[in-house]
Amino acid sequence: MKQVVLIIGLCLVTTAAFAQKAAVTGAERMAKDSRANFNEARKLIGGALEHPETKDDAKTWYVAGQVEDAQYNAESTKQIIGQQPNEAVMYNALGNALPFYIKAYGLDQRPDDKGKIKPKYEKSIKGILGANHLSYSNGGVYYFEQKDYQKAFDMWEQYFEIANLPFMAGTKAAARDSNYIIIQYYSSMIATQLDNHELAIKALNRAKNTSYRQDDVFQNLIWMYQQQNDTVNIEKTLNEGYAIFPDSSYYLFNLINIYISTDRNEKALEMINAGLAKDATNSLLHYAMGSVYEAGLKDIEKAEASYKKALEYDPNTAANHSNLGRIYYNQAVNKLNDANLITDAKLYNEEKEVAKSLFDKARPYFEKAHQIEPQNMEYMIPLRTVYYNLNMNEEFSAIEEKMEFRYDDDE
């Protein structure tokens, strides 16, 4: 009795395996039918892709690819004869085919029992992928126009994947032509719209090494690193961009700001001087130099000279006036503090007069800054102190009234 059960079990296994192989053959035959039911063909091959007897057979995966390729061809042929294809169906099938062909190729390269590799599908797979390669590019464009950016990105990734497959080396698909370069750019731009910074960074790093709209790529890559607060790669990429675009103020000023904020004052001055060598009248560079000397190196005389240059080349910016005002204002406050420590009346009055003269020196700069930006409290606050110390009561009352009005508005 046990022997009978065993024989029946073996028969069932053999029958199931035969059924799956028959399903592969059926799906293959169906894919070649001009009136093929592709959904039915997918159901047939789907079981074989999972069954232990057929899932490791190159033919199973090759036929799965053929089913998708056949539907793609059925729709694309409509274009050739002037009919309107179902592009959603066409490009969906095209996208489905590639993983099957790659799996089939790998299984097809396995050695037989004698250790020999005798591929059956290699030539066919290479031919199909080569013929369809440009269509993956077009598929990405289709999904882009549909505003399905994830699918557009995925389709273009398949386009790149085919070009980079080792077994496609030497074929036309592997060429880094203008289409490949342009798609790299648009793929990277789409990636920045997806909620996946790592994905975007990978795509942008791939696109940054070609000349097509390279500046845009670098700036978007830096922006992505900024979203991740990756200061190391921000600085690294800024330096790479500056080496390629040495005349771009974007890289120059961002690097200067990084060096200033990290107290690398000499490095900041090096970049500022490099910029001034190309444009000595750039007020922003003189402004930056003044900031380095004032806050970083504590060289007030050089800071004053730099701020004067910035004001000379751009007298219409409030900050250029207030910077000089601040230089004299801070000196005045320090003198006033020193005077308050002196017990000798004569010396006290002398120091106080020096402080007063410095407040008076600061006054026109803060007044001009306030005139340019009348609502900016940053200029009104020191101006009030200046008027107070110069006993300019009328002006003091007027600026206080403005400040109170601003406080009321803010509330």
pLDDT 10s per residue in the chain (411 long)? 445 444 444 444 445 555 677 878 888 888 787 787 899 989 989 998 998 889 999 999 999 999 999 999 999 999 888 899 999 999 999 999 999 999 999 999 999 888 899 999 999 999 999 999 999 999 999 999 999 999 999 999 999 999 999 999 999 999 999 999 999 999 999 999 998 999 999 999 999 999 999 999 999 999 999 999 999 999 999 999 999 999 999 999 999 999 999 999 999 999 999 999 999 999 999 999 999 999 999 999 999 999 999 999 999 999 999 999 999 999 999 999 988 888 888 988 899 999 999 999 999 999 999 999 999 999 999 999 999 999 999 999 999 999 986 655 554
Domain boundaries, the chain: 1-111+119-154, 176-244
CA distances from 220 to 6, 35, 224, 265 (A): 67, 48, 6, 27
Cβ proximity of 181 and 212 under 8 Å:
yes
Using one digit for the tens of pLDDT, what is the confidence trace for 72-131? 999 999 988 889 999 999 999 999 999 999 999 999 999 988 889 999 999 999 999 999
| Stated pTM of the model | 0.84
Task: Determine what percent of the chain is predicted with pLDDT higher than 90.
Answer: 81
Q: How many CB atoms lie within 10 A of CB 389?
A: 21
Residue 16: the pLDDT is 53
In sequence order, what DSSP letters do the residues of 341-384 get, joined into one string?
T---HHHHHHHHHHHHHHHHHHHHHHHHHHHHSTT-HHHHHHHH
Burial category of 392 from C-beta neighbours within 10 Å (exposed 0-12, middle 13-18, buried 19 and up): middle
Nearest to 385 by CA among 357, 359, 347: 359
Nearest-angstrom CA–CA distance, 90 and 234: 41
Nearest to 61 by CA among 46, 43, 73: 46
Using one digit for the tens of pLDDT, what is the confidence trace for 259-298? 999 999 999 999 999 999 999 999 999 999 999 999 999 9
Q: How many CB atoms lie within 10 A of CB 8?
A: 9
Interior angle at CA 197, CA 194 and CA 199, nearest 5: 75
Mean pLDDT of the chain: 92
Cβ proximity of 87 and 150 under 8 Å:
no
Residue 97 amino acid letter: A
